[in-house]
Amino acid sequence: MKFITYELNGIENYGVLNREETSVWRLDILSEKSGIFCPATIIDGIKQGKDFLVCINKLIEWGNNHSQVDYLLPLEEINWLAPIPRPQKNIMCVGKNYREHAIEMGSEADIPEHVMVFTKSPTSVIGHNQVIDAHEQVTSELDYEGELAIIIGAKGKNIPQNKALDYVFGYTILNDITARDLQRRHKQFFIGKSLDTSCPIGPWIVLKEDISDPGNLNISTKVNGEIRQNSNTKHFIFPIEEIISVLSEGMTLEPGDIIATGTPAGVGKGFKPPRFLKSGDSIEIEIEGIGKLNNIVK
């Protein structure tokens, strides 16, 4: 099951992709017509846990038994939003979680011994097919980072690694757009990571049950059709279970929290000379079993 959040006629809604992946189920209309009422927002749904998925399955079953054309909206008619358009907290991000990326950003001495974490502001979030601002008046070193992102599905604290995946709702794709010069100037990550439009997420959330092994997914990033990043999540230094466990040590994780798991080698800064983004560049990030996240810089 794949959850989409979209805008239609100025109204934000969420839905579920149909089996052919050509349309989205209009859960709002299905709910109104069937009398099966589900949460108004995706965050409220995630908080409900298993009851939410039971409700969604009932709605889709009802739709399949009635006139589907009345309840399916073609994807070409929607304005894509991030699956969670406005996260309730900063997005938590793991830095240098691939050995080769750590080396390209410095040397083997930069390979971390412990999970390295920074955050991005909720105001940086945009969706699939939305425009990334080049911010030419602020930065001349805008960079891309394709990443697998975790959506937390249950409240938890001090979570043991062997239980960590029980707290996951699903997975999506995240582009950790970074202003390298701001990152360098301010000696920390937050400002360089949090410019408006610097966190594309999408195109949807895939339920964890539909990803058999999140620790073994091919991941690639193309800029203007050229492959820049090409790796697999099996090369994580810190696996998903450890990331969740470490982040929950003394700190409560909540439904809807987003965790970006790190980017592989091949970022613009890693080239000699660096190959930073410029206005007009297109970025496509693909993760096996999830899909493709596309954005253009302007």
For residue 178, the model assigns a pLDDT of: 98
Q: Is the pLDDT of residue 143 over 90?
A: yes
pLDDT tens, position by position, 158-178: 999 999 999 999 999 999 999
- What's the number of CA atoms in the CB half-sphere (13 Å) around residue 80? 23
- Per DSSP, 269 falls in state G
Distances (CA, A) of 138 to 118, 178, 215, 240, 270: 21, 12, 36, 34, 21
Q: Is the pLDDT of residue 107 over 90?
A: no
User: Dihedral of the CA atoms 53, 54, 59, 62 (nearest 10)?
Assistant: 140
For residue 278, the model assigns a pLDDT of: 97
pTM to 2 decimal places? 0.97
For residue 157, the model assigns a pLDDT of: 98
Tokens of 16: 């579920």
pLDDT tens, position by position, 38-86: 999 999 999 999 999 999 999 999 999 988 778 999 999 999 999 999 9
For residue 288, the model assigns a pLDDT of: 98
For residue 69, the model assigns a pLDDT of: 79
Question: Bridge partners of 173?
Answer: 148, 202
pLDDT tens, position by position, 180-189: 999 999 988 9
For residue 142, the model assigns a pLDDT of: 98
pLDDT tens, position by position, 244-273: 999 999 999 999 999 999 999 999 999 999
Percentage of residues in the chain having pLDDT higher than 90: 95
Residue 110: pLDDT band (50, 70, 90) is: confident
Classify the C-alpha dihedral 4-94-154-166 as positive or negative. positive
For residue 134, the model assigns a pLDDT of: 98
Mean pLDDT of the chain: 96
Percentage of residues in the chain having pLDDT higher than 70: 100
User: Dihedral of the CA atoms 193, 214, 59, 67 (nearest 10)?
Assistant: 90
